[in-house]
Amino acid sequence: MSKTTKRKHVTKEVLDGYVLPAENQKIVKVLGGKGNNLHEVETAEGEKYLVSMPTKFRKNVWIKRGDYVLIQPIQEGEKVKAEIFAILYDSQIKYIQSQEKWPKEFVLPATTDVTRDISTVDTDDSSRSDDDLFVNTNRPQCVYESTDQSDSDDSSSAQPKDKDYE
């Protein structure tokens, strides 16, 4: 089997496979990659340990911090206590939630927004402010100050000033 064919089948299995956790498997949250195909995870009970990425997923499927995976414990490891069995994407997570197999400790932001009470949403336009807007931290912040000097050559009286250089 060629690399592309293998990649195609593994990707299809990961995206289209809807699995429920067996009695020895757990759903965990990925905290970060530790290198050498090892990932630190946290269980629903708050326990943290390392899990390994099986060879069939390596260089075919990537996971990142905050993703959820289904793991299967392994016997031979002290530091590495489990192996990733399946990577869970949004549609698979929704399927597991519909089957009521999702851990209650892992509350997803998407489910809390849907169940939010509509009466708590502020609809008054006058109470909105610019505090909710995104601030680009990659650019220097400019503040415009007005001066009341009548002898200045500039009549606009608004001069930009960088916060970073004061």
Token reading at 44: 């629903």
| CA 106 – CA 95 distance, rounded (Å) | 15
Look at residue 148 and tell me whether its pLDDT is greater than 80: no
| 64 vs 132, residue with greater confidence | 64
CB-count exposure of residue 13 (10 Å: 0-12, 13-18, 19+): middle
How high does pLDDT run on average in the chain? 78
Segment 103-111 mean pLDDT? 74
Judged by average pLDDT, the poorest of 20-34, 78-92, 117-131 is 117-131
The tens digit of pLDDT for each residue in 23-32 reads 999 999 999 9
pLDDT at 150: 57
pLDDT at 132: 65
Task: Report domain 3-101's class.
Answer: mainly beta
Looking at the whole model, is its pTM more than 0.85? no
- Please state the domain extents for the chain: 3-101
CA end-to-end distance (rounded Å), the chain: 64
Label the pairing between strands 48-52 and 38-42: antiparallel
Query: What Å distances lie between residue 110 and 17, 72, 103, CA to CA?
Result: 22, 27, 15
The tens digit of pLDDT for each residue in 15-72 reads 788 899 999 999 999 999 999 999 999 999 999 999 999 988 888 888 999 999 999 9
The one-character DSSP state at 50 is: E
| CA 57 – CA 7 distance, rounded (Å) | 9
